[in-house]
Structure 1
């Protein structure tokens, strides 16, 4: 029979979905039957991957979409599975990642009135007043499948929302009775469900911005995630290099600008001090950044002219957000930067001023780089985060994909990894830990010929549910290398406490006293070996590090299995 479940899978296939990351339950008989029927009749549907944990499932879809731009599907069990997605939904929403999420719902009949009626006790317990409300604040679109007669239209509409800027997750639910309905097949013209075209700068806005940039003495660009689009990175490099405009990253989520470029002015996170490049700028162009600076400690001068470009310049999901911008524009970064490069050609420039500015930024960059290089020498008997990252850099080629969830070492990873290729470095874009394991699986599935590496703290590694990650890695032949920056605890909560109470009791207390110690630590390498046959190595001395990295890469590239390097850093 051709049911809503059949049409559901067919619509996902039409929409270009390659994988369904599935955590199935009692609410999915129609989908399970349709999967089996498709296999028996050799009818194409997206490949169904078993995901033992929902966080890993959605993180895998996140990583796939993040590295390709194409939304994949996640199927979970009623409101329980939906709640288990919570942190991953936050990450997809804040990171603007297109993902299609479907959850079943408890049957709405109980005496056999319709096929799929309640026949298990759990279906009363899992019937909640507002299942869609669990994710309403995080998804771009949510709806309920009430009949199979328009299920394809609902799915293509949801995907259109997911892929239109600002991108994000979408959520559909469907009860068993609706999914079991026998329906007539419907043909859909997918060309009628394309995402909205990217926005451009209006001509008058473009000319005003170009004129102000041309007359600025010390223009600066601030970005966080322009690297979501590799074409935008190329246009940003062109803009910066032609007119000698400095680039400062704020909480970078991607490889936005080569960190070795002389115009690169470093990056800022939570450090409690004024950024010099930001302070001296007379014009600041913010492109694609949720938090371009933290005004309590670092901000542009009062006299600086600020412009802002983003696909969501109002930050509609952030109740408290504002920056002192002369103008804010809703526009796609790649389109706007291409426009700006053309418009600046027609402006009158002081070429001597450009040369002076180029030299100034190059000197500042060189001094910044020399300070970082000095940190990479490390210590003779202890592995420092800077030394570890430098050795990872030496072991990787620029074609590798790196998923960073270093938290307290985020800045160290960006500074010392020195990624140059757009699309080679990613963070979740959100604030819920545990993304990197599943995301690496998704990235590896999307790019089977590439080496995928995760760099994470020990806390992030545990949040990622490594038992599920490594089971999936082995089951679906998606080997990854994970490097754990193990300081035996949660360093970030301690740093946050010290930022508010620098001389308080917490500043003098041991880690176990304030509840952030993981000592004695779990056997992180052993978890991966037990769950997925991974190579697991614990590294405690600098002289062991290069050999361990080589062994880990050999396991991934030649042996076809994952590897985990549990690298011990100084204890927090």
Structure 2
């Protein structure tokens, strides 16, 4: 007969809290959980569905992508401290990207002579016993705790998820020894409504009018944002705010669709842009809302006289030891609520109509000229496939419901510029810097939105970081097909660009030696074919691009993942500027 164990209580608590999936990489610390899952399957009880993940990086990245689409945290189960460390850069991504997720890891058993059920019986239990397992990830977690009894296990799980979902959102980490998770306990009844996240907050009422007064004085106001698009309703409020006063929008290091690219108020994107952005430079009023890096002041910053207001759920960036911008005021507020308040205040504000009309015309001229340059850059290339041409070809195949997961690093700004996304939720980035997020994120996005087409855009370096063998095995097992397009320059371009940024005339440039060349070249798409039966094709000529994209997308629609390995100009053949 089955027992009611701490592990069963843990799984029930996840189910009660709305967790649908366990992205799991089980180990010797999880027998009780495996028993509880098997028992539920035998008895027909509903618990979160297990998605077997052969690599932990993929598991957490999948939970990350799922939460970005749905807003709901999922659970990741890993093996003691080894599995925890194998989460790697995905932990950084969840923390910096403000993505809610619950991570559970067992620990080495706490007894060794059979005193309790689950006592040590494998040599690895001594080797994997470390002084401070939670300390491995503590700097990247909103909350960490050790489960010590099943008596209050459900309260601990609900509290952890409550913290994960409270703004600013983020990951939480629980551990429990094998003996504790095996122990019999009494069922506990929980009301999930009592564990809702803290309600989002707005601007203090007395702070609204000063913003409006400074805005009215502005001749060249500007909004800068990076991730307001994680909330579709906030985007709607931003559009209304900007349309009211003809305020242009600049997206800085975006990782969502933050403002429709076809709106004439959209003034482009910036990333590691080495030149001064004229729209930013000319602004006399700047509202920065939901942005970690609104500009890079070394070479691209606002005027010294610009009046800057900063609204963010985490306005002081306490997790970033070196961070500051010259804002007049900082506000800890939810973007949607703050913009609702500002929009309401504008209803009773006298507006200089002629100034707004003139500004809208100036911005339209800037927007149209910007778009003209983009179209020119997409021209059919003579010999070598260009990122601009490839992105335009991908754009032609996308409808507004297509979800793009984007981890194009050296082509990041180019990708947003030429994909021209218009709908919130239609493009996602990790929001952080841990490379390899893309493959798992595409799995999570497809799992969250099974009726939508998912296209994954990456460079060859990020493809290798993503553990593609694991990604495509999962894709085939759980019938989660998506298209991957590799922008392959046969090397790591970003370290080359970084070196040139610091040493533009250095020895590395003189010798054309940056130690980033991937020679001999791997047949990357074949990894996915071997591991997951994916449609795999190498594309080397411009005339092959559009037909290959159509074939690959047709394979995806038939239920099979596809990988196109598209050869751009090789990094070791680029000119000295790295263009």
TM superposition score normalised by structure 1: 0.99
- Equivalent position of 1:458 in the other structure: 460
Give deviations 1:53-103, integer Å, cap 9, x for gaps: 000000000000011100000000000000001200000000000011000
Distance, in Å, in 1 between the alignment partners of 2:367 and 2:191 is 52
Distance, in Å, in 2 between the alignment partners of 1:104 and 1:236 is 44
- Equivalent position of 2:269 in the other structure: 267
Distance, in Å, in 1 between the alignment partners of 2:380 and 2:164 is 45
Distance, in Å, in 1 between the alignment partners of 2:143 and 2:212 is 36
Q: How far has the Cα of 1:114 moved from its partner?
A: 1.1
Is the partner of 1:149 in helix, strand or coil?
coil
Is the partner of 2:487 in helix, strand or coil?
strand
- Equivalent position of 1:567 in the other structure: 566
Q: How far has the Cα of 1:240 moved from its partner?
A: 1.0
Give the superposed CA RMSD: 0.8
Gaps of 5+ in 2: 572-579
- Equivalent position of 2:147 in the other structure: 145
- Equivalent position of 2:575 in the other structure: none
Is the partner of 1:483 in helix, strand or coil?
strand
2:52 pairs, out of 25, 28, 50, with: 50
- Equivalent position of 1:184 in the other structure: 186
- Equivalent position of 1:389 in the other structure: 391
- Equivalent position of 1:296 in the other structure: 298
- Equivalent position of 1:509 in the other structure: 511
Q: How far has the Cα of 1:186 moved from its partner?
A: 0.3
- Equivalent position of 1:99 in the other structure: 101
Is the partner of 1:309 in helix, strand or coil?
strand
1:76 pairs, out of 69, 75, 78, with: 78
The reply to whether residue 213 of structure 1 matches residue 212 of structure 2 is no
Alignment of 1:386-425 (within 5 A): 386-425=388-427
Is the partner of 1:156 in helix, strand or coil?
helix
Is the partner of 2:484 in helix, strand or coil?
strand
Distance, in Å, in 1 between the alignment partners of 2:346 and 2:206 is 14
Distance, in Å, in 2 between the alignment partners of 1:314 and 1:58 is 27
Alignment of 1:444-523 (within 5 A): 444-510=446-512, 513-523=513-523
Gaps of 5+ in 1: none
Aligned residues: 569
Q: Which runs of 4+ in 1 moved over 3 A?
A: none
Q: How far has the Cα of 1:520 moved from its partner?
A: 2.5
Does the CA contact (< 8 Å) of 1:406 and 1:455 recur in 2?
yes
Q: How far has the Cα of 1:238 moved from its partner?
A: 1.1
- Equivalent position of 1:537 in the other structure: 537
Q: How far has the Cα of 1:206 moved from its partner?
A: 1.3
- Equivalent position of 2:161 in the other structure: 159
Is the partner of 1:238 in helix, strand or coil?
helix
1:245 pairs, out of 221, 244, 247, with: 247
Distance, in Å, in 2 between the alignment partners of 1:170 and 1:378 is 48
Give deviations 1:274-300, integer Å, cap 9, x for gaps: 110011000000000000011111111
Q: How far has the Cα of 1:521 moved from its partner?
A: 1.9
The reply to whether residue 552 of structure 1 matches residue 552 of structure 2 is yes
TM superposition score normalised by structure 2: 0.97
Distance, in Å, in 2 between the alignment partners of 1:532 and 1:156 is 36
Distance, in Å, in 2 between the alignment partners of 1:339 and 1:519 is 56
Is the partner of 2:72 in helix, strand or coil?
coil
Q: How far has the Cα of 1:506 moved from its partner?
A: 1.5
Is the partner of 2:384 in helix, strand or coil?
coil
Does the CA contact (< 8 Å) of 1:28 and 1:104 recur in 2?
yes
Distance, in Å, in 2 between the alignment partners of 1:402 and 1:203 is 39
Give deviations 1:114-152, integer Å, cap 9, x for gaps: 111111110000000110011100010100000000110
Q: How far has the Cα of 1:268 moved from its partner?
A: 1.0
Q: How far has the Cα of 1:215 moved from its partner?
A: 2.0
Does the CA contact (< 8 Å) of 1:215 and 1:349 recur in 2?
no
> More deviation in 201-210 or 137-146?
201-210
